[in-house]
Chains A and B, each alone.
Chain A
Amino acid sequence: MWLDPSNPQLNTNGELHHLLSLEGLPAEVLRQILDTAVSFAGVTQREVKKVPLLRGKAVFNLFFEPSTRTRTTFEIAAKRLSADVINLAINVSSQSKGESVLDTVANLAAMQADMFVVRHAASGAPHLIARHVAQDIHVINAGDGRHSHPTQGLLDMFTIRHYKGDFNQLRVAIVGDILHSRVARSQIHALTTLGCPEIRVIGPKTLLPAQVNRLGVHVYPDMHQGLKDVDVVMMLRLQNERMNGALLPSAQEFYKNYGLTDDKLALAKPDAIVLHPGPMNRGVEIDSSVADGKQSVILPQVTFGIAVRMAVMSILAGNS
């Protein structure tokens, strides 16, 4: 059995072999991950927070770009599945000696790796690795450039489903720097596949991709209009390097127009939930009173992220 040429994440049985992007994944695959994650969430409440599914497997966290939350939750997830976890922060080791990504991966594969979790600043790096690894190795994209961050998208879907039940009645707003956000792209693909009828993107025109409406979303340059009557508000992180360039006048200006405050949140439905992938810039894209308020589900997102990553790793490992 080998991979489907039209979607190299799936094997010829339609099962997930790598997780590279949520784009093009069938709803059935997304739902299997979310359903399996529900069962793993129960495991983490027990005396022994471990199951033996990946016993004897070696999971390599290859982080070519720094990350704390994502790397840590992948590490915890792999350990709770009883895998052996090896963390590599590659920007400080072989890359600085000039070794290519594929050489690094080939060397690690020779150390009997079973799974690579890859974070890279270049879009497409996990796809490149997936194309070159042996058939029995699985690759998970932990965020590549502006392209995709599938496990973040999945944990956001898990969080929404946990609080809101189903997607088919929901109005969801994604707010902030859509242009540079791999998280937003993954969220839009997942929400669309899972049947969310109304997705809004809110942000300054300079931070919206030129043809974002082709993805089937509604564009709102005005946050007050965009938040009206939404069920879910998904905030994005504004990256520091964007704040003082040509795209944005200043962080203060951004906060005034697009920062989520109690006043603006009051325009959404009274039971709307607020998500943020972290790390947060308090006082830039979100006010502390919202981040710490009763509608915030930002910390539960982190907890759910472990169960979702356990589900992804165990489903991939089982589809050999």
Chain B
Amino acid sequence: MLAHPPDHHPFSAQALPDAELLLTNLIEQIRPHVTPETGIVGIHTGGVWLAERIHAALGIISPLGTLDVSFYRDDFTKTGMRRHVKSSDVPFAVDGARMLIVDDVLFTGRTIRAALNELFDYGRPACIELAALIDRGGRELPIAARFVGQTLDVPPTMSIELTRNTAGTLALQLSTN
């Protein structure tokens, strides 16, 4: 949903990159750097959709993990508990694992900070890499993704998120905050 007509704003749904193409590109970036034992963890909800695709495309044997970082968010005292918290599930041994966190949009870095804290409550990984479909800048913490589908200069008044239709096709969507 757009609050401003496209001519008043540099962004429109039409101008957004194709999420499926970005994902293909992201998978090829990641491919040389993983083994079948790499522990892949997607962050709810968009990151899980991407992680499922990456996990399948790269023939990872280690089962896919998912994180809902609600219990680790730093804005809990301001915003309270979110209505629909999902369960985190990390079904492999985190101790000593080489891991890849997957998220749809990298912005302030606070979600990734929360995800790192949560993962360390499962064990002590050997290393953690980060993959994001979109890096929209605006970082508030010293966090960077090794694998990025595309950087996109989204204005601070707007949100960008991943959607998935019933056929499983991924797309990017803009909305105003």
Bound CA span A41–B86, Å? 11
Bound CA span A51–B81, Å? 13
CB-based nearest A residue for B124: A47
A109 within 8 A of B: no
A42 touches B89 (CB 8 A): yes
Residues B58-108 near A (CB distance < 8 A): 68, 70-72, 76-77, 79-81, 83-89, 94
Query: Of B80, B81, B122, which contacts A46 at CB under 8 A?
Result: B122
Interface string of A144-179 (1 = CB under 8 A from B): 000000000000000000000000000000000000
Interface string of A251-277 (1 = CB under 8 A from B): 000000000000000000000000000
Binds B, one of A30-38, A69-77, A196-204, A219-227: A30-38
Among B89, B118, B120: residue with most chain A CB under 10 A:
B118
Binds B, one of A120-128, A288-296, A312-320: A312-320
Interface string of B106-130 (1 = CB under 8 A from A): 0000000000011011110000000
Main secondary structure of the interface of A (DSSP, over half): helix
Bound CA span A271–B117, Å? 41
Query: Of A41, A52, A314, A320, which contacts B117 at CB under 8 A?
Result: A52
CB-based nearest B residue for A51: B71
B77 touches A318 (CB 8 A): yes
| Known A15-B80, A51-B71, A318-B76: A39·B86 in contact at CB below 8 Å | yes
- The distance from the CB of A14 to the nearest CB of chain B, in whole angstroms, is 12
A39 touches B68 (CB 8 A): yes
A47 touches B123 (CB 8 A): yes
B88 touches A42 (CB 8 A): yes
CB-based nearest B residue for A28: B83
Among B72, B81, B84, B121: residue with most chain A CB under 10 A:
B81
Chain A residues within 8 Å of B71, by CB: 39-40, 43, 51-53, 314
- The distance from the CB of B39 to the nearest CB of chain A, in whole angstroms, is 14
A92 within 8 A of B: no
A48 within 8 A of B: yes
Residues B34-75 near A (CB distance < 8 A): 68, 70-72
Bound CA span A15–B83, Å? 11
A50 within 8 A of B: yes
Query: Of A42, A47, A48, A315, which contacts B81 at CB under 8 A?
Result: A315
Chain B residues within 8 Å of A320, by CB: 77, 80
B77 touches A48 (CB 8 A): no
B117 touches A36 (CB 8 A): no
Bound CA span A52–B80, Å? 13
Chain B residues within 8 Å of A42, by CB: 87-89
CB-based nearest A residue for B93: A47
- The distance from the CB of A158 to the nearest CB of chain B, in whole angstroms, is 14
CB-based nearest B residue for A82: B71
Query: Of B70, B77, B83, B123, which contacts A39 at CB under 8 A?
Result: B70
Bound CA span A317–B83, Å? 14
Chain A residues within 8 Å of B89, by CB: 42
Interface string of A295-320 (1 = CB under 8 A from B): 00000000000000000001101111
Residues B113-149 near A (CB distance < 8 A): 117-118, 120-123
Chain B residues within 8 Å of A43, by CB: 71, 88
Q: List 13 A-B contacts (CB under 8 A).
A: A15-B80, A32-B81, A38-B87, A39-B88, A42-B88, A42-B89, A43-B71, A47-B122, A47-B123, A318-B79, A318-B81, A319-B80, A320-B77
| Pairs of residues from A and B, 4 with the lowest C-beta to C-beta distance, nearest first | A318-B80, A48-B121, A51-B71, A318-B81
